[in-house]
Amino acid sequence: MAAPLVLGVLVAVTVRAVLYRSSLAAFISDRVEVSSPLSAWKRVVEGLSLLDLGVSPYSGDIFHETPLIIYLFHFLIEYAELVFMITDVLTAVALYLAIQDFNKVVFKKQKLLIELDKYAPDVAELIRTPIEMHYIPLKVALFYLLNPYTVMSCVAKSTCAINNTIIAFFILATMKGSAFLSAVFLALATYQSLYPLTLFAPALIYLLQRQFIPVKLKSKGFWIYTTQYAALYLCSLVVIICLSFFLLSSWDFIPSVYGFILSVPDLTPNIGLFWYFFAEMFEHFSLFFMCVFQINVFFYTIPLAVKLKEHPIFFMFVQIAIISIFKSYPTVGDIALYMAFLPVWGHLYRFLRNIFILSCMLIVCSLLFPVLWHLWIYAGSANSNFYYAITLTFNVGQILLISDYFYAFLRREYYLTHGLYLTRKDGTEAMLVLK
């Protein structure tokens, strides 16, 4: 199993190295779809030179990275390309190991449920087999490494790749059941981009399941473990933030990073939903709608936690997708992270309804982004509405994709317990309908 992975890594690294040397690199790194104001490499370089000049990098309105990133690149600026290639590989390997673990867990659980006779008698074809699951980790790693989105993000040296690595390590730590490392990486991810905060819930549920603690609000063990995990998380977060403070000896980075994420002052077009809306809006409404837009990311956690408390990893996948859709400065690198998980849910394929249309939609939109950008910015013949229309379509496509997977997952669970061949009361064939 390791050999194909190594081969995949080699191919991925070669592709990236070639692209770094080609004239496409400059073009890609200027694309708004690939680098947002938060993650653009140009801004990192600007922050570094400000730091070298002895000026606070946050003094202008350019730099919005966290202090740890700037100190990381303070030492590694010479090897930036290497760093980004390594982070991608690390992400892929972490996902590979994590999914390997997850497969074992899934399989054990399935075996247990079969032994307990929880499944309906005629669902044999829904049961997952080790043969089909064997290649899933490899597919996940390759989906991440060879996804054009990841490649572009890496070639543009978007720091989004580093956030992805941290989240991947967080997932790995959670899978391995290490509450401490999981909390530390979650704190790091939160520190980096704030939104991974919502991954607290799925990680907690997963860890609780591993400890065989029932997820019930009345149980004592639940509260003790939750408090422990939360305390670990908060402590590491505080430590990281204090470390940042001591590095720069100022609190400038708090408004400049988190304020920037939450209040979205930079309305440069990107693939997200914010820019057009807030560019058009009257100033005095913007605070209210800002709250409405930002709540999107956090709000879905609660209903999802209730519905998916038995399946924390699927929950985590949906949550990562939601973050990448609704965050304030999304890039294609964020999308690549949740797309890497799609092979894990390959067994849902037969329940997906619109996968064909949706994949066409996403590919077409990805191609139309540069075309409409050209028409708007260079040719001057189209305008921002054209570009936003595609942004909107792209996001609707993503949302439909996620809801398609969500519904397919629920449907499979339903069939597993109720049998594949449902009958109505009068004996005719029944069908599940989502109303």
Partner 1 sequence: MGLLSDPYRRRALSRLILRLNTPLCILCYVAGLGWFLGLAFHPFTLRTYMSENAMGSTMVEEQFAYGERALSYAREFAGHKKKAGGIPVAWLEKTMWNLGLEVYKQPFSRTLPFPDEARERYMVKGTNMYGILRAPRAASTESLVLSVPCSEGQQNNQAVGLMLALASYFRGQIYWAKDIIFLVNEHDLIGMEAWLEAYHDVNVTEVHSSEMLGRAGAIQAAVSLELSSDVVTSFDVAVEGLNGQLPNLDLVNLFYAFCQKNGLLCTIQGKLQRTDWDTLPAYVHSLQTLLLMVLKQGSGRPQGDHGLFLRYHVEAITVRGINSFRQYKYDMSTVGKTLEGMFRKLNNLLERLHQSYFFYLLPSLSRFVSIGVYMPAFGFLILILVLKALDLWMKLSKCDMGPEERLCDGNQGASHTATEESRPGLLTLVPPLLICHATGLVLYFLPVLGQHVATQHFPVSESEAVVLTVIAIYVAGLALPHNTHRVLMGSGSDRGWMTLKLLSLLYLAMQLGCIALINFSLGFLLAVTMVPVAAIVQPVGPKYVYAVLLVLVTPAATLLLSIFLYQELIEYPVSLLECWQLFLQAVAEGLLDHYLYGSIVFPFVAIFVYPCWLLLWNVLASKGNWKRHSLGARPSLRGGASAEPSLWGEELPAAAAFSPAASGGSGRVDGIEACRRPGPSTPRLLPRGRGLDLGLLHAKAFEGVSVAAPCELAVGID
The binding site for partner 1 (CB under 8 A) comprises 4, 111, 114-115, 121-125, 127-132, 135, 138-139, 142-143, 146-148, 342-343, 346-357, 359-360, 363-364, 367-368, 371-372, 374-375, 378-382, 400, 407, 415, 420-422, 429, 431-434
State the minimum distance, in angstroms, from the CB of residue 361 to partner 1.
11
The smaller minimum CB distance to partner 1, of residues 115 and 283, is found at: 115
State the minimum distance, in angstroms, from the CB of residue 395 to partner 1.
16
CA nearest neighbour of 317 among 396, 403, 425, 258: 403
Distance CA 417, CA 122 (A): 10
The smaller minimum CB distance to partner 1, of residues 300 and 407, is found at: 407
State the minimum distance, in angstroms, from the CB of residue 273 to partner 1.
19
CA nearest neighbour of 41 among 55, 28, 59: 28
326 Cα distance to chain centroid: 11
The smaller minimum CB distance to partner 1, of residues 212 and 356, is found at: 356
What residues contact residue 206 under an 8 Å CB cut-off, 6+ apart? 174, 175, 312, 313, 316
C-alpha angle with apex 188: 186 to 191, nearest 5 degrees?
A: 110
State the minimum distance, in angstroms, from the CB of residue 435 to partner 1.
8
Distance CA 111, CA 105 (A): 10
Find tokens 């939360």 and name the residue.
230
Find tokens 């799925």 and name the residue.
202
State the minimum distance, in angstroms, from the CB of residue 89 to partner 1.
17
The smaller minimum CB distance to partner 1, of residues 107 and 300, is found at: 107
φ, ψ of residue 171 to 5 degrees: the values are: -65, -40
State the minimum distance, in angstroms, from the CB of residue 347 to partner 1.
5
Distance CA 274, CA 388 (A): 10
The smaller minimum CB distance to partner 1, of residues 148 and 259, is found at: 148
The smaller minimum CB distance to partner 1, of residues 212 and 378, is found at: 378
Residue type, 392: L
